[in-house]
Structure 1
């Protein structure tokens, strides 16, 4: 999203220093004159006709291939002579393939100038070697070797090049014989990888490492390096920078690696309605698959991204290849139905929940909604199954003001009820502990929507009838917020502010009073550019390696470190964060342990035997739970906030409890009588099996005239008060009347 805030526009003079610290795809310094190295391979094409190996002259002078040869793990010079390839010019690549020459050229769209040695029968395996010799001696004339095994460990652990080529991550991989420094290619990556006519992915015939060395190899992205390639997308500079307000926590250093790398192909996220490629906003990891990342674009698109090596690329399954265009409910009219999609999260139902701040077809009118989409829906379009329109909640954002319409919902995250109730979160609308059971239509958690205008999070119960209830407002202290994410591993809510606040992350917790408050703030890793970073996602701890896990940011403007830099045109940045942040505890403290020598007054709470008890009257020395009718009443609350029946609990008319998975309401004062019997102080509450349906009859429920029940495939209506009498078709004059 582009903002029009009154902020000082950042100078980009420092961008070269930032880019120098970023790991980005770039041309690398060539080796000596005879430096012919392996630069790509595919051992098992899935669709194309033949596997291949590519090698490239990285030196400063042409190299004659007379006397050169190739072999696999038998390491025998002369096995596959390369003399027929002639001389490799500086930067030129050659191909060895089992395919026929014409077939290979056709499949990969290669011209006559590309050197190809076709019909190779020394085939590669899943765990094998590629050996390149420049003479007859297997040791002295070894020009390059790559030993790989995609099921191996250490330096032999390489990508599984099955239908997707393997390419070096950086120049360090060239000639290193370290397969762990190689990754899978991706369409549109720095190699210019593409899909063959048969459907495999690679870039045979050329290598980015063979294009010539920059004149300043210590800073290959600096002004003395090679010119950046012409972009086929349109980056946009940051809209402005600012500082954190006094209300914000002072940021600590980033808790993880200082390294940051671009993590997507250049200009990868163009769409038919937005060829500029910009506006990648919210991010979220799929909770069920850490190798899947969803992203949302302001121009009404969602992408499903998958991991290939260290790069996130578009998933090509189920119509996701070019992203899926999204719509408000009821229409696919691209002229009038254009959600300005900003943030997204995944609910407990596996659906995508996307925030909008307006309809781009009427971009001066605020429309702060949360939309639900089914990501499994086939095709290339997704129409929202549900919408919660929350616009009226923010009257300060006026219709007719484009700037204000652009300051609405930026992010959203799903926060499970279990986290909230387990930490004593207080429902601000009631002033009491949050009880999910108070919102029976809301599901299993709240949705925290991030409002850019004021830097606050708004927590809502979204009901299945499209109504909603605001449960709390949380101030991040940052003044603005662009994304929000609940991390189940750190058990914290993360809020991100972009260049408006110097790219700061504030981590929030449930306080001792039950409010959600800022806990700690972190500055960005130094190499991360101060751009419109509007997306933020933390990988799960299940992916931790060496005590760290991946964190991903998205740049809404794909500006990188500025025009001509190697990071320009990229939307995603990947870094590492400590898996254990040492954040400590949170939440409302548990009652103190019961002490036999302490006198307790009515209402005092204690912990004993893993349970919580409330004193009903003055007591001293009496063990909690020791007597059903004693001074102590056990209080038990389920994770959904419902009250559990306990033998010592005191219940009055109207109290609702859960017992053995069933729900009951008290008809009068009761203590010590378990629910479930016929008659007595309890009446079972039976929910219908379908929304709006009729509940099944229960012998433990008290019915009055007019109540309806289902049984044996029929519907009955009570004629008068009854309990324990089952409805029957044969009872013509009984309490139950057959009505359906």
Structure 2
């Protein structure tokens, strides 16, 4: 399905002005359409995710048939047109639909509709008959009502009369969310605005994810005019059993709180926020609250748990956090569902792609049970379970080896390292959900299941920020030393990362992301069970739920969920000008690391066709899967059963966001290894710098983002680096100038000889 990006908004707004229709950025406003001709009008528009594809519906509200022969449909671009074939008619009271796959016109409706676009209908003379423009996809479709006004429909009604949701009624419940604290403690205050005591049996609090739910216990009540505070220690019902609020919900810096009645109906919603509330830079002095109690929007306030709210004066909180400004997703806007029939469990979390002997593999993990799966991937992004992996295997803590009934790790992230082992990130023990326990588990994927006990574990809790139990490690990603040597700033030395400084760490570093605050940390996980922090990276997102290293583009992707509107950050590592990774010897050790520059971060919006949801997993295919200049990408959504895994596309461009393509410029060399299982290596050096390959030893042949990625990136970098100073265009201009001068000299000499003769 064709989608327009970037400048499409400006184009659509220009079309809006041209046809006299107004719209609001982000939401298409109900707007009267142009006057219909003989009862003919555009009646409904599907611009995203329709069946099959985009479609446009026309209605005849008149009393006579309308001959459509020669009528033309265009979007906001005059170059895109569909002409109704001769003999096309629309009966009185009837509907006619054209879509992307049922092409019957002379021009064919094959151009698709974008998030910012328009539909225009012209008669055979070229006169405009009807039109509608919008600036964002509808959650359902756009339709025109009986009064001629456009609005989002209740549901698509292709070829039928439009349906619109009834106007929402004002909340009838006297119960309201009243105050929220997300740091340093987590608590929610309710207020009863009614004149009678109310029961809270079965009522629920949820954050931005439906599977993070805490229900009030039987017998819970709130007095008339009273306040009730639910804090981290409050015991209610979690997953059908007694559990604390902290076991179910951690209120993050990018989050929201919702309140549901016993029947599952939404009573109240705080709306989303970005960044912990602070006054004077201190989160302990601030909350979000309503003033007056139970009414209006949530604003900055002083903490008053169990009492009337005290909202802050304007300006008391200091500067507002900078809004997230993103660039358009660097790939196709559409995504598609891969598991319409349920394939996974309900707590889908981490993804990682691996280049193996049998092609590309995709690993997936569930945080509720510790179950992980191995899937085979195709170049079009489709996946299937590897033989025998339909039920997956279950990761276990070493301490639970003899207790199959133990709840096990809350496995939020997964990565495959150069040693062929899986590494899972866990933010807590599911048997003690209220306790933060940030750890990384080494799992042998070849071990016989269904349960696989961790062969080694690293406890990082004391080395990471102290956060709520449900807001700890969300992702882990292994990156080979060859990708980081001299390109990542080592916080201990202030210079480029030198693997030789960490003799027990293996062949790469592990990046872990902490959900609350969105920081990413690089660790050397040592063979003796210790861990050494190498770097602390701030991607510029209030939360990070997924990590994936992109060896083609030479950087790390950090992705957020709906708390950040699905934004992601690309973190480009690179050497400082004039510096680079030094030559390596046959054993892969460096003679010394060069200075490196701070990473460069570029923020991107999610693809237009990716639903706004609690997306916790993200992975990108390697270079060998390029199709029509793009590679597959995958997203994994928590809290759903079917529809958890989606595939989309990322451009396979040589240019690296944030300037990473020339990160080793100005004479710096970048060695990239292509090792084998026997430890042999062959390398590609950056132009103008030191050459030589970086060895990959032992079992490192199955590293994620494998040899193809490394060689392609090395080629792209070499081509880029070779054009520093005088580029090809400048050189061609010089040649033209020199040839012109030579020609003038020859002509002048010839004339002088002719004159002499």
Question: By percentage of residues, which structure has more helix?
Answer: 2
Structure-2-length-normalised TM-score: 0.45
Structure-1-length-normalised TM-score: 0.46
> Over alpha carbons, which structure has the higher Rg?
1
